[in-house]
Amino acid sequence: MKTYCLSVDIGASSGRVIAGGLENGKLELVEVHRFGNQIIEKNNHFCWDIESLFKEIIKGIKKCSDFDKKPVSIGIDTWGVDFVLLDGNDQLLTDAIAYRDPRTDGIMEEVTEIFMKERLYLETGIQFQKFNSIYQLAALKKQNPEVLEKAKTFLMIPDYLNFLLTGVKTNEYTNATTTQLINAFTRNWDKEIIDRLGLNFEMFQEVMMPKTVLGNLKEELAEEFGFDMNVVLPATHDTGSAVLSVPQSEDTIYISSGTWSLIGVENYFPICVTKALDYNFTNEGGMDYQFRFLKNIMGLWMIQEVKRNYGNRYSFADLVEMSKGVNGGTAIVNVDDERFLKPENMIEEIQKYCMETNQQVPVEPGEIANCVFENLAASYKNAIAEIEDIFEKEFHSINVIGGGSQNDLLNQLIADTTNKEVFAGPVEATAIGNLIAQLIALGEISDIAEARSIVKQSFEVKKFTRSTVNLQD
């Protein structure tokens, strides 16, 4: 690679530092560093270990000494909604409390008494989920008002990691939209909503777009690494980065498949109509002012928890194989029920659901796994039907991207359930989209259209049709 960049992609269960650049017209990736991530209990809350995450980023950067060339830039993406607050001395006032923490129980209902649900959706276009940043902030105001009174800076997780690298404070647009505090039409903080909720408008930072070069590393970090580089904003919300790697972009529904499943389409304007509100779709910001019209529904979190509840005795591949041996009788489970957000034991919660609904209770590991996969596919089918209803058109293909695209069983179930062509890949979609933003910012790629053409030539994609599977060239 003549020029390579570092993509730091951190998800709910793991993170990775990937080096990437163009080589003979194709995008080449090299994994530099991989590390785990998990929710920890701290100060009576479920939190992310933000200090540990930053240390892992530093480790990944240091491993670049194994390469002949030093990276010219770095970009960071993570999940959405979560944040930290800093005081006047730029010290942490809060832990990085995770969206699965129960502090927001009942808060969304209280907020929608202050600000009508329909009005909030009309202004922001964001899906109602009890863990959105707006409800986390409202919970903090109710439970710890003294913390908010001291707060001078609001930074989302990737914003804070960028601040540690550069000393620059900003709120990147795609992640900021997940707060439910960004106006969908002005693409900036909605002062009326923030004021009505009694929050300090001054703690929110300037909203900056993907492809913005924040600046260089802090001097002490450049000295520690032995080189400097630009810190560039990708779409710091991981789904915002992931959809940039969708090779089949025309008339295609995407499913960004990981811990969560994000299912939707790209659009050039927000859809804030009543039907979209009723179906609970969101209009999250994308690169170049596009919108990701999507629904955030349950993903592979359930099977991740099932694996953990079995003491990790079975790999994901084992669970898939055991699922294939189950013939019929799968219970109908609403995988998007709030009870599956963070139960004490996912296996027992699935079984309790089946007992409460007078259905056959899955017992064996294969039966549990099959129940998850079958009902995930059914959930996807329902969401796709809602998209087609809103757009009043039929979409003929689905592009599954991200880690979940490796699950051939689930991909085949999606094809069988929806009767649509399913394209699976690329796997490292988020890291690729992160790199795309950096390479466009650096002038290596001209625009998204060229980037997608490069992605299509660079990575293998599998094609699934009803009850058949073959490899696409």
Catalytically active residues, by annotation: 238
φ/ψ of residue 40, rounded to 5: -115, 160
Q: How many residues does the chain have?
A: 473
| SS3 track for the chain | CCCCEEEEEECCCEEEEEEEEEECCEEEEEEEEEEECCEEEECCEEEECHHHHHHHHHHHHHHHHHCCCCCCEEEEEECCCCEEEECCCCCECCCEECCCCHHHCCHHHHHHHHCCHHHHHHHHCCCCCCCCHHHHHHHHHHHCHHHHHHCCEEEEHHHHHHHHHHCCCCEEHHHHHHHCCECCCCCCECHHHHHHCCCCHHHCCCEECCCCEEEECCHHHHHHHCCCCEEECCCCEHHHHHHHHCCCCCCEEEEEECCEEEEEEEECCCCCCHHHHHCCCEEEECHHHCEEEEEEEECCHHHHHHHHHCCCCCCHHHHHHHHHCCCCCCCCCCCCCHHHCCCCCHHHHHHHHHHHCCCCCCCCHHHHHHHHHHHHHHHHHHHHHHHHHHHCCCCCEEEEECHHHHCHHHHHHHHHHHCCEEEECCCCHHHHHHHHHHHHHCCCCCCHHHHHHHHHHHCCEEEEECCEEEEEC
Distance CA(380)–CA(257), nearest Å, equals 11
Buried b (16+ CB within 10 A) or exposed e, 242-272: bbbbbbbbeebbbbbbbbbbbbbbbeeebbb
| Both structure tokens of 68 | 């002949």
Give the torsion sign (CA, 153, 154, 160, 163).
negative
Distance CA(469)–CA(190), nearest Å, equals 47
